[in-house]
Amino acid sequence: MTTAEFPFPPTSPDKAIEQMRRIRDDRPMTQVQYAHGGKVWAIHRHGAIRQMLEDRRFVRKPFATGEMEVPYPVQFPDFLKTTMQFADPPEHTRLRRLVAKAFTLRRVELLRGRTRAFAEDLLDAMERKGPPADLVQDYTLQVPIQVLSELLGVPAADRAKFTTWSQVMLSTNGLSEQELAEHGAALYTYLVELIAARRAEPADDLLSALAAAQEADDSLTDDEILPIAMLLLVAGFDNTANFATQGVLALLRNPDQLQVLLADIDGAAAKLPDEILRHGGFAVGRDVEGSAGLVPFVATEDVEIDGQLVRAGECVMADISTANHDEHVFEQPERFDITRSPNPHLTLSHGLHHCLGAPLARMEMQVIISSLFRRLPTLKLAGEEGYATDFLTGGLNRLPVTW
């Protein structure tokens, strides 16, 4: 079977929808061979992905230990391989249980007011400067890094250098290996010292809560807290900014949905994040794998999924874009519909690896987009969007707008 059609580079949203439907109807999965030689089963159907994510016979630890290489050309930073994303039960279960004690919905909701304040300050600056503006650099990228700094307890005086280090850690080129190592070491040292300071003098932030998280005689060590903080840089900073930007772009390209939002900003904003996450990269005619598809799994024994045999030792990944447009699950999946309910998309994964930061991502998107359109209801595009080619998480890095 040829694999040239997957992963597909759609030239338009219409072609992407047709291509995804044809692949999904033809087979539950495709074995993809990349140019460097790695092979992976890409699972296309919503139900088949859920089945795989619920099956304990699929694991990730071999990638963390170096026993296996990631089968497609994505270079993960070493710190990511020590996070929950690469762990399996019982280690994963223990870490997730302890982190969940600190990363609560209450803590996220307490951040909502500060998030709104960050958004309003940035919008004030945009209005003072006047149109046109780059929404990414002036707004959607800035809010999440401020929220993340607040969440972790990074002092205001350190936030400029913390932002620089964070962006460098996500960069895939443009700096020498020595420069990357220096910035990485600086961020590592800073977080180590900050964690130690929070153990000595706890504050009302996530690092303090992680340091205090305990169950029976079990607690998180500093060596375990550090990669959790580093993972937040990837999942809670650039990814959130990218999806918020995609949401704005989708609204501006779908005027009927923008009118639904403007008619009831607070009410519509409640459901908006999940439709952005479902529609995701497709909304801008791009193919993205989504967070559940970023890290593959390995079958520990022969497993049949939706009639397809996956043999022990073979790798599988979730084709999130295609599954999120499965017509057996989503009515009119090609339509960007901010009132869609229910919306069981898989962008934040499912089962054991469902994103713990989902409430934070939803809250930030709600605030970023509702604050923007409440302040600038006449917002419109002022040029072509741009996409990052030098960031681990990819996505939009330029969105010219006016009002």
- From first to last of its 403 residues, the chain has per-residue pLDDT tens of 334 444 444 445 566 778 888 888 889 999 888 766 788 999 999 999 999 999 999 999 998 888 888 887 666 667 677 788 889 999 999 989 888 988 888 999 999 999 999 999 999 999 999 999 999 999 999 999 899 999 999 888 888 888 788 777 666 556 677 777 787 788 888 889 999 999 999 999 999 999 998 877 788 888 889 888 877 776 677 788 889 999 999 999 999 999 999 999 999 999 999 999 999 755 433 443 333 456 799 999 999 999 999 999 999 999 888 899 999 999 999 899 999 999 999 999 999 889 888 999 999 999 999 999 999 999 999 999 988 765 555 578 899 999 9
Q: Which two tokens stand for residue 244?
A: 């918020």
Q: Which structural domains are found in the chain, ordered by start?
A: 13-402 (1.10.630.10)
Backbone torsions φ then ψ of 65, nearest 5 degrees: -80, -15
- In contact, 4 and 31? CB cutoff 8 Å: no
Count how many Cα atoms sit within 13 Å of the Cα of residue 241 in the half-sphere of its side chain: 31
Distance between CA 120 and CA 70 in Å, rounded?
42
Task: Tell me: cis bond preceding 131? Omega within 30 of 0 counts.
Answer: no
Q: What integer pLDDT is reported at residue 294 of this predicted model?
A: 63
Q: What integer pLDDT is reported at residue 75 of this predicted model?
A: 66
Q: Among 42, 21, 12, which residue's Cα sits nearest to residue 289?
A: 42
CA dihedral in degrees (345, 350, 354, 359; nearest 10)? 30
- In contact, 41 and 310? CB cutoff 8 Å: yes
pTM over 0.75: yes
Q: What integer pLDDT is reported at residue 85 of this predicted model?
A: 84
Instruction: Provide the strand spans (E) within 90-242.
Output: 133-134, 214-215, 218-219
Backbone torsions φ then ψ of 393, nearest 5 degrees: -90, -5
Distance between CA 47 and CA 24 in Å, rounded?
11
Q: Which residues contact 281 (CB under 8 A, 6 or more apart)?
A: 246, 287, 288, 290, 321, 395
Q: What integer pLDDT is reported at residue 73 of this predicted model?
A: 64
Q: What integer pLDDT is reported at residue 369 of this predicted model?
A: 98
Q: What integer pLDDT is reported at residue 290 of this predicted model?
A: 36
- Report the first-to-last Cα separation within the chain, whole angstroms: 50
